[in-house]
Amino acid sequence: MLNYFNVSNEDIVRNIKISCKIPDVVEAIATQKIIAETALELGIKVEEEDLQTEADCVRLEKKLVKAKDTLSWLKKHHLSLDDFEELVHRNILSKKLANHLFTEQVERFFYEHQLNYVAAVTYEVILDDRDLALELFYALQEGEISFQEIARQYIQAPEIRRASGYQGIRHRTDFRPEIASAVFAATPPQILKPITTPTGVYLIWVEEIIQPQLDEKLRQKIITDLFSGWLKQQIEQQEIVIQFDLDSNSKSSKQLLTSA
């Protein structure tokens, strides 16, 4: 037999507070207010056709194929149809404002920071012993062993071992600085001389260096990054007043704030 219990608005707010999520919630609210106010000042509007297009994008992203899927998703998140429309409206306003503010800055930003968008395809094995790493490095150069054999022998994590130490496509900022400088100076395919770091000795096979192309995907990423930075700056300039009691501490609970 199922047991039912009620969860009130007060319960939800209290849980958010006790879970230490108030700063995140407040920042999200401040972000929406800044977007709405700036869009109004700039005369940016959401048209009816925009709502339908973005609603389709949201449903696609959430894999809501049928109407009943959407209704189930709304029920799960305790959203009404009006709430869903507001969510879609906010998405559109955010995208339109971001594009309005930063579209013309994309190309200059890309060329000024082009090195950050160069990517590398690498495989790596992390060892504890530099002498062992050097021995394996020279064995690789002489063709006495393959990188796959080294990975199978020295990588502990099963999934990474099965992928022979494959790290995927990563950008300069994804690597430790001392590793990035070596990786992006390589002429692939190339095995790098072992690199010693505080976390271990890295034996890295650089398979490919991918030069960046300013396609639509990267263009939108740059706009999003610039917009996020702008929003953070705007929030830091605001004095945010929270209009509910955050200081209801009893005398006994205040003792928890000091050592015994």
Predicted pLDDT at 68 = 94
Q: Which domains does the chain have, with CATH numbers?
A: 11-107+217-257 (no CATH), 119-210 (3.10.50.40)
pLDDT at 130: 96
pLDDT at 96: 97
Return the pLDDT at 245. 63
Which phi-psi region, left, alpha or beta, contains residue 153 (left: φ > 0; alpha: ψ -120 to 50)? alpha
* The model's pTM: 0.78
The predicted-structure confidence for 114-173, as pLDDT tens digits, reads as follows 999 999 999 999 999 999 999 999 999 999 999 999 999 999 999 999 999 999 999 999
pLDDT at 244: 66
Q: Is 24 helix (H, G, I), strand (E, B) or coil?
A: helix
Rounded to a whole number, what is the largest CA-CA distance in the chain?
A: 73
What's the confidence (pLDDT) of residue 5? 76
Residue 255, pLDDT score:
58
Residues in the chain with pLDDT values less than 50: none
Residue 179's closest CA among 167, 164, 165, 196?
A: 196
pLDDT of residue 258: 59
